[in-house]
């Protein structure tokens, strides 16, 4: 059956302390606090640098069964290499500890820079490199370079499918051939609400739908009022009813809106949203 997961992009934000997070809550318990209220988060630190297996394992240990992490792919792959000649960088990414999340590993997010336009050949080559199972990712991870020597994680206890989502930020991607390519490779185009700054493509191109809500009227700042949350709840229900797993992440973190908006959307989807198992359940 299709499932719905609602959460936030990242969880370590200083302005949230004493507002969303209770005063005095230790920083090391912030993820635990989030996971008691929402069913998923995006790991964004992986975009800026390769994380370590110990970090992924500690994040997994801080969350209850059923919780999922989406992991953002490294900017070295997407922004510096621009998806070209990235077999070794991909191996490094998967060797860095992503697979240590095991059954809590959700979709992988690949965000393109605004300067990168549509290049079907480049995208095809990249999609063909992407592993589609955790076992395939572990095999790829074994080809890491010397930077991961002594710290690579290539173990997989159980083979599981991997899902990928692509976020684009150039108007040239408004092209039917792009959507056809995504469907051929079962890659979800990110439905990105960016207050009109970048493309908003509301097509389901894979078995899952991936939504990032960056701000209703002002990028990263504005929240979603009741009418906007009702609108997005309706869209999520339609995708779900069509048989798609749906992942929604609020990235409007600047004014401490993201966690409250995520909770608001969760409440509107209470009958279909996945909630993690807690000790009280």
Reported as a single tens digit per residue, the pLDDT across 64-97 is: 999 999 999 999 999 999 999 999 999 999 999 9
What is the number of domains present in the chain? 1
Has residue 230 been placed in a domain? Answer: yes
Residue 253 — very low, low, confident or very high, per pLDDT cuts 50/70/90?
confident
Has residue 280 been placed in a domain? Answer: no
Question: CATH number for the domain including 174?
Answer: 3.20.20.410
Has residue 275 been placed in a domain? Answer: no
Has residue 97 been placed in a domain? Answer: yes
Has residue 77 been placed in a domain? Answer: yes
Q: What is the pLDDT of residue 278?
A: 64
Asked if the model's pLDDT at residue 280 lies above 80, the reply is: no
Residues 133/106, Cβ–Cβ less than 8 Å: no
Domain that holds residue 129: 4-268
- Average pLDDT taken over every residue of the chain: 96
Asked if the model's pLDDT at residue 168 lies above 90, the reply is: yes
pTM of the model: 0.97
Has residue 274 been placed in a domain? Answer: no
Has residue 17 been placed in a domain? Answer: yes
Has residue 278 been placed in a domain? Answer: no
Which of the pair, 220 or 48, is modelled with greater confidence? Answer: 48
What percent of the chain clears pLDDT 90, i.e. is strictly above it?
94
Q: Measured between alpha carbons, how far is 260 from 281 in angstroms, rounded to an integer? A: 23
Q: Where are the alpha helices (DSSP H) in the chain?
A: 30-35, 45-48, 53-61, 75, 87-95, 120-129, 134-141, 176-185, 226-241, 258-268
What does the pLDDT look like over 106-131, one tens digit per residue?
Answer: 999 999 999 999 999 999 999 999 99
């Amino acid at each position: 059956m299709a499932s719905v997961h609602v959460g936030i992009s990242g969880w370590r934000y200083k302005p949230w302390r004493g507002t969303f997070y209770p005063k005095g809550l230790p920083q090391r318990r912030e993820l635990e606090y989030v996971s008691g209220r929402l069913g998923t988060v995006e790991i964004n630190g992986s975009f800026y640098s390769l994380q370590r297996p110990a970090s992924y394992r500690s994040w997994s240990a801080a969350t209850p069964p059923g919780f999922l992490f989406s992991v953002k792919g490294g900017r070295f792959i997407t922004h510096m290499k621009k998806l070209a000649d990235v077999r070794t960088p991909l191996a490094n990414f998967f060797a860095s500890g992503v697979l240590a999340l095991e059954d809590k590993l959700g979709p992988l997010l690949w965000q393109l820079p605004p300067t990168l336009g549509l290049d079907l050949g480049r995208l095809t080559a990249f999609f063909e490199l992407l592993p589609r199972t955790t076992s395939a990712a572990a095999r790829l991870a074994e080809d890491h370079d010397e930077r991961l020597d002594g710290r690579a994680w290539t173990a997989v206890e159980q083979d599981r499918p991997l899902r990928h989502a692509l976020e684009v930020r150039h108007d040239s991607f408004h092209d039917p051939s792009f959507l056809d390519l995504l469907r051929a490779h079962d890659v979800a185009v990110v439905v990105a609400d960016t207050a009109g700054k970048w493309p908003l493509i509301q097509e389901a191109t894979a078995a899952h739908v991936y939504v990032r809500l960056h701000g209703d009227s002002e990028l990263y700042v504005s929240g979603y009022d009741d009418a906007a949350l009702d609108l997005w709840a309706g869209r999520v229900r339609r995708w779900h009813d069509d048989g798609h797993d749906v992942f929604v992440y609020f990235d409007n973190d600047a004014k401490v809106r993201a966690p409250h908006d995520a909770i608001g959307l969760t409440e509107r989807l209470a009958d279909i949203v996945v909630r993690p198992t807690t000790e009280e359940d």
